[in-house]
Structure 1
Amino acid sequence: MKPFAKLPKFVKNYYFLFGSFFLFWMLFVDSNDFVSQISLKQKKSSLESQKQYYIEKKQEVLQDREELTTNQVLLEKFAREKYLMKKSSEDLFIVVSED
């Protein structure tokens, strides 16, 4: 008895075999397979959320920059807090908390 005798006739068809092989190849073996597409979509959504975060941070920085260029009091406060700048007649004390 032949091993392929019990298979239905359409399974032995050349076009069915080629189509099945092609479908298997495109879904699992190809460089653009199904699993790769899913991981790329996840990475794309992650990058888009990062992009949105950086756009918001850019807006905050631009707003702070605008405020610093127009307000001298705020500019002095920023320089003292961020860069520890002081006037020549002042003493600077840095308090470090142990939390």
Structure 2
Amino acid sequence: MSTHLSPEAIEQLARRRAGAKLGWYIHALVFTLVNLGLFAISRYGFGDRPWSVFPLLGWGLGLALHGISVFLLGTGSGIRERMVQKERERLQRERGGH
């Protein structure tokens, strides 16, 4: 990567990325605990059918998208950085050609 970050920028980026990852881990923990509770209520409490699968699937999709945004597409991720680099190179070529 040709971009050089200052120590302050590295610190800020590291804190932002760590905060985003911590946020996902907390989200995953809450998801697990709440869905275990809903499963217990569904299984041993109310209703004849396992209705707890519906919040599990909906919230699970949200958790998966949150994980993708944090681990794959987040600031400083490999995919995003490669895309930014490609765009930077394309813009430099266009600017140099005109």
Fold-level match, TM-score > 0.5?
no
Q: TM-score, normalised by structure 2?
A: 0.37
Which has a greater percent of helix? 2
* Structure number, greater radius of gyration: 1
Higher RCO structure (Cα 8 Å, ≥6 apart): 2
